[in-house]
A and B are shown apart, each in its own frame.
Chain A
Amino acid sequence: MTAYFIDRRLNPKGKSLANRQRFLRRARAQIREAVQKSLKDSDVADAGKDRKVRISNQGTREPRFRLDPSKGGHRDFVLPGNKQFSAGDQIKKPQQGQGGGGGKDAATSGEMDDDFEFMMREDEILDIFFEDLELPNLVRTALSDVQMSSWKRAGITTAGAPTQINLLRTMRNSFGRRLALRRPSLAGVKALEEEIATLEAQEPPLQDEALLASLRAELDRVNIRRKWVAYIDPVDVRFNAFVEQPQPSSQAVMFCLMDVSGSMGEREKDLAKRFFVLLHLFLRRRYQKVEIVFIRHTHDAQEVDEQTFFYSRQSGGTIVSTALEKMLEIQKQRYTTSDWNIYAAQASDGYTQSGDARRCVELLENDLMPICQYYAYIEILDEREMEVFSSEEAGAELWRAYRTVAEHWKNFATKRIAKPSDIFPVFHELFKKQEVE
């Protein structure tokens, strides 16, 4: 009898990963529906966390032939725990589905597992969340508007800087050429010189005058040939070649602009926050590094930290253009377009001092839009206003002004929202997969 133990605990984990991927792929439609619903309903700030997802069993059913005694026929079965029954007693049938007649009923019906609940990991959720979204213009930026580049090896060339000489290849060429052209070796020269020296050292009269002469002639010939066939010739030299390769910048900055004047209440700020969070989540997924700049404004603008941005109030009028100016200033100081992808999200209730809207349009058209990858503006209305402004054209001064900008710039988006459930559709539309042009 042999027996032995094996410690398997350190074996690679995740053996069922392939099965999980197949399952997620199989239930894709149901999972997408469930994930999007659960993201819509729940706090957007938690969007990127592990969560329980309940999906319908549609698509992942595993049907089997099963007998169904409730549909006809006759059966006998045994149960444990008799308390008061005697043979011949009649018992009213329990209601269908209560399972009083035995757990087997529920198991055989096969309908009990129509809903299916399981944990999804952050990455899986976000994958689905962003599945059909594409960061606008990212591809175009990366390809045409090269902002960063890196050097990549690109083989060997015959021209280049001395620091890039590829010694190995150069020496190999040199060696081959020397062999082919029979360059006399240094050792051969030395041997000749020694031989001549020995002969010259002999007491005259020399016995081998002729030999010495021929050796001298040989030495001259050899030296000339050595000069003629150089040790390293320019044709031997090879250089490592590098080419500059465009690389999309991997960092982004996101400017959050918000009106914090008295007309922006808790509700408006909450909606704006969700919007910012969602955008941030999206950027974080696309870029290695995302920085956020919070700019709040009333009649003048300040850069503030997140807490102040969302939770402190300020009194004053509303001049939206101050925030745009501030953004431009900060961008110039800290976020050069060559290193940063610039995104801006602006939330407002749509009011601004009369006449300011024109200034905003100027700033956007001339300064901001050329440097921004994307500029999203949301106008937060209450539900009543939302009905009034059901058409895109109708709206306050700022809205109409921004719409003119949107006409000129494809990467400028404006939306109106009134309730949390509007946010996701807005977001979805803002970042809808852009048609390839």
Chain B
Amino acid sequence: MNAPLFTESEWNFQTLDRVLKAIEEVAIDDLRLEPYPNQIEIISTEQMLDAYSAMGMPLMYHHWSFGKLFAREEGLYRSGQIGLAYEMVINSNPCISYLLEENSTTMQTIVIAHAAFGHNHFFRNNYLFQQWTNAESILEYLAFAKRYIAACEERYGFADVEAILDSGHALMSEGVFRYRRPPRPSRARLIEKHRRRADFAEEDYNELWRTLPQGAEPPPPGPDLWDNDSEELAGGPKLPEENLLYFLEKCSPALKSWQREVLRIVRHLAQYFYPQRQTKVMNEGCATFVHYTILNGLYEKGLLTEGSMLEFMANHTAVVFQPDFDDPRYSGINPYALGYGMMADIRRISERPAEEDKFWFPDFAGKGDWRQVLKDAWANYRDESFIEQFLSPKLMRDLRLFALSDSAEAPHLTVAAIHDEAGYRKLRSTLARQYDVGVSDPNIQVVGANLKGNRKLFLEHRMHRGVPLNPSQKAQVLPHIERLWGHEVSLEEVAPE
């Protein structure tokens, strides 16, 4: 039997090194994870608050909304209303994880397993992240964004830059490509872009501005109106366009070139975070399942004391706790609970299936190869498809899930399905839809622009099952679009045929 890795709750870097090695053994040799190299950083509470308020990124351009978030979080934290996250992890290569210095050694162990191996593996292997984000260059891009926006502030003043960022932020969830890959710029343009950015990095600001087109002239109307950036837009935009930020960046007659670049930065960020929004349950589930399995693996090897194990159990239980809908603590379905529950259930089905599991999951029930099943799931699914595919009747019963059907005009909610034989499939589909950001985000499309006349821009909200936009929010966002477009904007809410 091995000696425990540590017995003290105070950690030091030697202990952490030992812990990391031991975790790595279980993660790589047993779970066969394939994470990015790890860069684990120890930070103070204030730095954690900093990271919180900057979209969880290690560096970020300046904007008042981050300051507001920081002020709010700091207030809540100082008054003891919220605790801080134990860790924060960044989808980058090497994968950066932040550990809070206040964590006990046991907590650091959990957190390293959770973030540096669980999340890390997920980031590296999930298809959404592979397709839509570029872990290699995100930090470099953020550094560019920060410098660029600071330079714009210096040159054009805080107010002008802030206005563009405000408007960009308001449209962030409408600034992603959902159904197709972002158009790839031609090779020549790519080289040009790289050159410009390199110029920016190397030269001083004056030099930078020399390389950018001068003046505030809107592009002249006519066929070459669209000919100012990507060749996809050459000869006119393809309408309808779902990515509002992209459309405005490329086609707005009112924006100067630096404003387009600022919008592009916001859009790139929105796109970078889009996979995370689609995989909350899976990402957290994966990390939680990994830390649970690793900690137990360490314990079985005798590397953890009973005391640490107890601390871990208490923490883990709190993390995966799911309050009932009528509990005052309820605030939606806990992604840790659902994700971990489903993944633990996959292992159970794989190792000790019940009769119904063999019927529901004939592919892997009882085959014992849960590692491979999970790795496939982590790589090839997002929340919606994962739930649709893997939510088992047993878990629906355990969580006592039930589906409600809600029509705005009806005085009652109707129970559409509960956790019984008749309801499993409907329940599962309903829950899966709930995690489809394509459904939960409003579907807003650019459908036309009057370029010859008054330059009015036409948007359409294609309502899903007749659910309209929140009117007051809509009224507040529209001026932002008008600011970016420079002319009148109309937004019609339509029910698709």
Contact = CB atoms under 8 A, between A and B. Distances in A.
B413 A2 contact: no
B404 A87 contact: no
B17 A104 contact: no
A393 interface: no
Nearest to A63: B476
A92 B70 CA distance: 39
Nearest to B42: A7
Contacts of B477: 63-65
Contact of A71 (B37, B50, B468): B468
A36 B38 CA distance: 50
Contact of A22 (B16, B49, B67, B466): B67
A19 B64 CA distance: 5
A21 interface: yes
Interface string B426-449: 010011011000001110100000
A3 B64 contact: no
Contacts of A26: 64, 68, 162
Interface string A284-309: 00000000000000000000000000
A79 B47 contact: no
B422 A87 contact: yes
B482 to A, nearest CB: 13
Given A67-B442, A90-B414, A101 B406 contact: yes
Interface string A141-184: 00000000000000000000000000000000000000000000
A20 B46 CA distance: 14
B53 interface: yes
A77 B330 contact: no
A80 B63 contact: no
Contacts of B40: 3-6
Contacts of B74: 118-119
Nearest to B411: A93
B332 A78 contact: no
A16 B472 CA distance: 31
Interface stretch (A108-116, A263-271, A409-417): A108-116
B184 interface: no
A77 B414 CA distance: 11
A2 B71 contact: no
A5 B405 CA distance: 50
Interface stretch (B132-140, B167-175, B312-320, B351-359): B167-175
Contacts of A4: 38-40
B406 A74 contact: yes
A90 B422 contact: no
A21 to B, nearest CB: 7
A9 B44 contact: yes
A202 interface: no
A390 B332 CA distance: 60
A111 B44 CA distance: 33
A65 B399 CA distance: 32
Interface in B405-426: 405-409, 411-420, 422-423
Nearest to A61: B476
Contacts of B469: 65-68
A18 B62 contact: yes
A75 interface: yes
B398 to A, nearest CB: 9
B241 to A, nearest CB: 15
Given A18-B62, A76-B403, A77-B404, A3 B467 contact: no
B65 A62 contact: yes
Contacts of B423: 87
B17 A87 contact: no
Contact of B413 (A64, A66, A71, A93): A93
B196 interface: no
B301 interface: no
Given A63-B473, A64-B477, A71-B470, A16 B414 contact: no
A9 B399 CA distance: 41
A198 to B, nearest CB: 69
Interface in B43-91: 43-44, 46-47, 49-50, 53-54, 62-68, 70-72, 74-75, 78
Interface string A77-108: 11111110111111111000000111110011
B274 to A, nearest CB: 14
B324 interface: yes
A117 interface: yes
A76 B75 contact: no
A80 B325 contact: yes
A141 B46 CA distance: 44
A50 B464 CA distance: 48
Interface string A4-44: 11111101011110111111111100000000000000000
A87 B470 contact: no
Given A9-B42, A65-B477, A81-B327, A74 B68 contact: no
B183 interface: no
Contact of A73 (B170, B333, B401, B466): B466
B170 A67 contact: no
B418 A86 contact: yes
B465 interface: yes
A70 interface: yes
A234 interface: no
A221 interface: no
B413 A118 contact: no
A210 interface: no
A21 B67 contact: yes
A102 B326 CA distance: 9
Nearest to A104: B332
B332 A82 contact: no
Find the residue from B67, B94, B413 having the highest chain A CB count within 10 A.
B67
Contacts of B98: 8
Contacts of A75: 405-406, 465, 467
B467 A118 contact: no
Contact of A6 (B42, B471, B476): B42
Interface string A360-373: 00000000000000
A223 interface: no
A21 B66 CA distance: 10
A93 to B, nearest CB: 6
B38 A3 contact: yes
A58 to B, nearest CB: 11
B427 A19 contact: no
Contacts of B467: 67-69, 71-75
B474 interface: yes
B486 interface: no
A71 B415 CA distance: 20
A60 interface: yes
B193 interface: no
Interface string A249-282: 0000000000000000000000000000000000
B265 to A, nearest CB: 16
Contacts of B480: 63
B310 interface: no
B266 to A, nearest CB: 13
A2 B64 contact: no
A117 B73 CA distance: 10
A65 B173 contact: yes
A358 interface: no
A83 B400 contact: yes
Contacts of A89: 414-415
A79 B72 contact: no
A1 interface: yes
Which one of A16, A26, A80 has the highest number of Cβ atoms from chain B below 10 Å of its Cβ?
A: A80
A132 to B, nearest CB: 21
18 contacts: A3-B116, A5-B40, A16-B70, A19-B67, A20-B67, A60-B65, A65-B173, A69-B467, A71-B468, A75-B406, A76-B403, A77-B406, A77-B430, A78-B434, A79-B402, A81-B400, A108-B470, A118-B75
Given A85-B415, A111-B472, 9 more contacts: A5-B16, A7-B42, A25-B64, A61-B476, A67-B442, A72-B467, A87-B416, A90-B415, A117-B75
The 7 lowest CB-CB distance pairs between A and B, nearest first, are: A81-B324, A73-B466, A23-B67, A19-B67, A63-B476, A73-B467, A118-B71
